[in-house]
Amino acid sequence: MANKRPLILITNDDGVSAKGINELVKCLRDLGELVVFAPDGPRSGMASAITSLVPLKYTLLKEEEGLTIYSCTGTPVDCVKLALNEVLDRMPDMLVSGINHGGNMAICVNYSGTMGATAEGCIFDVPSLGVSLLDHTPDADFSECCRIGRVVAEWVLEEGLPHGTYLNLNVPKSPQVKGMKVCRQTDGRWIREFKRSEDGSGKPVFWLTGDFETRSHYPDDDMAALNEGYASLVPCKIDVTDYDFKKRLESLI
Amino acid sequence: MANKRPLILITNDDGVSAKGINELVKCLRDLGELVVFAPDGPRSGMASAITSLVPLKYTLLKEEEGLTIYSCTGTPVDCVKLALNEVLDRMPDMLVSGINHGGNMAICVNYSGTMGATAEGCIFDVPSLGVSLLDHTPDADFSECCRIGRVVAEWVLEEGLPHGTYLNLNVPKSPQVKGMKVCRQTDGRWIREFKRSEDGSGKPVFWLTGDFETRSHYPDDDMAALNEGYASLVPCKIDVTDYDFKKRLESLI
């Protein structure tokens, strides 16, 4: 037991070179031993996708006191699985995924590779936190996001999380975030999702785009908090069973 | 309103040529107007992944009375989005995803493209059902799975489903399934997840594999039902908010 410092696994879906993950590393550096194990390029929108038809590889990029950085050919979830199964010599005390360039509020938790990796940490019973900034630009200013992310990360490291629960933190694009609210996931969906275009031979092709449409508004949902200039923290569950409808279904079917 | 027959959207993650989806089409053929909109090849383990960096294309493969078949270059969720946004001229009355070659019980709902597509239908408020057979072989016998899947599909078409809830049906590999149980998602995870091998130059590569380990056993969980020879039906929720922990978190953080 030579090394008693907390071990923190860091990953993302924008790839190991993105500004967001490197800002996160700087911000958490003194909290423990950091291992970055992240995709070798962008993997946005990969959700909890796993790679089974081709094998995975990983590469050691950097090794210095308290910080080791690997890149991996897989998805964000592949990264977590490979790091935990094959690379780390002990279970980490925390996983932090991000900082994502772009928000993962509302239904985005369903599509996000950042949140897929966070859920995967949770499945391994590693206290896991996903962090996203509502700014897609490559050179976004992560300072407020780092400030708030660090507070939550310190809390998670200290307190842990219940079995099967992980955290989704979103931070608005603002030079001064007002604070943080504990929220529920906003109910809604994307509409007008494709931009029609043409390939070189004139055949139609479809680019994913779209606008988010809220269905039900709740004062405690994450988009309400973000719109008011607060960061939102949504605790999320791995178990997606609808227990209320399960009871009704038992008598119906 | 010339056409009053129910419109049923069918997709999968094994690709449009897989036996499972074609058996499903045969089995549901007389229930309505069927549109198959499925990936042009295998997309297993794609979860709710979406494609944003390259454009999507689709191709009309077949058009006959009551049945239209398209293939698409995207993921299962891309297929659902593209069909609903750009291809169908009205919202379908039901979406059925599958029949998957292989089980999607327990935590598999998290990684499965079959279930990603099902969740996506639900996000559009289309009553949605995922169907999986616990047999990975390309020429699996789908007859019992079709028999039970059809009963559930008829029920969904008749009754609909609540906003935000979709169904995950798994059928054991058995010539005579005992019946069906309404279940909760089994709590557990995959272990020993990689087989280490070498590429042509001797560098290590990792193939995804693994064994499922149940953490908590409940008499009403889906693996219990399947192990006893029953089909399992789990109602699942899009909203992953952990409301119990949200309450605690509000006073903690």
The dihedral sign for the CA sequence B199, B204, B207, B211: positive
Partner-chain contact B55 A205, CB within 8 Å: yes
pLDDT digits (tens, 9 = 90+) for A167-205: 999 999 999 999 999 999 999 999 999 999 999 999 999
Q: Coil, helix or strand for A48? A: coil
Q: Is the omega angle on the peptide bond into residue A99 within 30 degrees of 0, that is, cis?
A: yes
What pLDDT score does A159 carry? 96
Question: What is the rounded CA–CA span in Å between residue A231 and residue A233?
Answer: 7
E strand residue ranges, chain A: 7-11, 33-39, 58-64, 67-72, 94-101, 128-133, 165-171, 180-182, 187-191, 194-198, 204-208, 211-216, 231-237
Q: How many residues does chain A have?
A: 253
Q: Give A175 to chain B, closest Cα distance, Å.
A: 23
pLDDT digits (tens, 9 = 90+) for A97-132: 999 999 999 999 999 999 999 999 999 999 999 999
Partner-chain contact A253 B51, CB within 8 Å: no
Whether residue B155 lies within 8 A of chain A, CB to CB, comes out as: yes
Tell me chain A's radius of gyration from C-alpha atoms.
Answer: 19
Question: What is the rounded CA–CA span in Å between residue B1 and residue A239?
Answer: 42
What pLDDT score does B3 carry? 57
Q: Coil, helix or strand for A242? A: coil
The dihedral sign for the CA sequence A213, A217, A222, A227: positive
Whether residue A207 lies within 8 A of chain B, CB to CB, comes out as: yes
Contact A105, A226 (CB under 8 A): yes
Question: What is the rounded CA–CA span in Å between residue A159 and residue A180?
Answer: 18
Question: What is the rounded CA–CA span in Å between residue A12 and residue A80?
Answer: 10
In chain B, where does DSSP find H-type helix? 19-28, 76-82, 113-123, 143-159, 222-227, 243-252
A-facing residues of B in 168-187 (CB < 8 A) are 180, 182-185, 187
Residue of B nearest to A210 (CA): B85
Give the mean model confidence (pLDDT) for residues B54-82.
Answer: 98
Question: What is the rounded CA–CA span in Å between residue B20 and residue B14?
Answer: 8
> Could you say which of A116, A194, A215 has the minimum Cβ distance to residue B47?
A116
What's the one-letter identity of residue A108?
C
What pLDDT score does A2 carry? 52
Other CB atoms within 10 A of residue A153 CB: 24
Question: What is the rounded CA–CA span in Å between residue B68 and residue B48?
Answer: 24
What is the count of residue pairs from A and B with beta carbons less than 8 Å apart? 210
The helix or strand, by DSSP H or E, that contains position A93, with its residue range, turns out to be: none
What pLDDT score does B219 carry? 96
Partner-chain contact B180 A253, CB within 8 Å: yes
Whether residue B88 lies within 8 A of chain A, CB to CB, comes out as: no
In chain A, which residues have their Cβ closer than 8 Å to the Cβ of B128? none
pLDDT digits (tens, 9 = 90+) for B2-11: 557 999 999 9
Interface with chain B: mutation pick from A154, A240, A249, highest number of B CBs within 10 Å: A240
Bridge-based pairing state of the strands B7-11 and B94-101: parallel
What's the one-letter identity of residue B49?
A
Give the mean model confidence (pLDDT) for residues B19-24.
Answer: 98
What's the one-letter identity of residue A140?
A
pLDDT digits (tens, 9 = 90+) for A21-74: 999 999 999 999 999 999 999 999 999 999 999 999 999 999 999 999 999 999
Partner-chain contact A242 B235, CB within 8 Å: yes
Residues 6+ apart with CB under 8 A from A221: A106, A183, A184, A185, A186, A187
In chain A, which residues have their Cβ closer than 8 Å to the Cβ of B47? 46-50, 77, 116
What pLDDT score does A142 carry? 98
The number of helices, as runs of H, and strands, as runs of E, in chain B is: 6, 13
Nearest to B106 by CA among B245, B210, B241: B210
In chain A, which residues have their Cβ closer than 8 Å to the Cβ of B184? 239, 241, 243, 246
Partner-chain contact A152 B253, CB within 8 Å: yes
Residue of B nearest to A193 (CA): B85
Burial B82-97 (b: 16+ CB within 10 A, else e): bbbbebbeeebbbbbb
pLDDT digits (tens, 9 = 90+) for B181-230: 999 999 999 999 999 999 999 999 999 999 999 999 999 999 999 999 99
The helix or strand, by DSSP H or E, that contains position B164, with its residue range, turns out to be: none
